[in-house]
Amino acid sequence: MDLFSGIRLKVAKAMLTGRVSKVKRKPSFINLSDIKSIGIAWNASRTQDFAVLSRFCQKMHERNIEVTVLGYFQGKNLPDQYTAIRFLTCFKKNELDFFYRPVRNDVNSFIRNRFDVLITINFENLFPLVYVSALSEAILKIGLFGTEPENLPYDLMMELKNSVNVEDYLNQILYYLGMINSEPVKTAV
Averaged pLDDT score across all residues of the chain: 86
What is the DSSP secondary-structure string of the chain?
A: --HHHHHHHHHHHHHHHHHHHT---------GGG--EEEEEEETT-GGGHHHHHHHHHHHHHTT-EEEEEEEE-SSS--GGGTT-TTEEEEEGGGB-TTS-B--HHHHHHHHS--SEEEEE-TT--HHHHHHHHH---SEEEEE--S-GGG---SEEE--SSS--HHHHHHHHHHHHHH---SPPPPP-
What pLDDT, in 10s, does the model give residues 103-140?
999 999 999 999 999 999 998 889 999 999 999 999 99
Mean pLDDT of 151-180: 85
Residue 3 has pLDDT above 70, yes or no: no
Tell which CATH architecture fits domain 3-179. 3-Layer(aba) Sandwich (3.40)
All structural domains of the chain with their residue ranges: 3-179
Confidence of residue 41 (pLDDT cuts 50, 70, 90): very high
User: For position 184, what pLDDT does the model report?
Assistant: 53
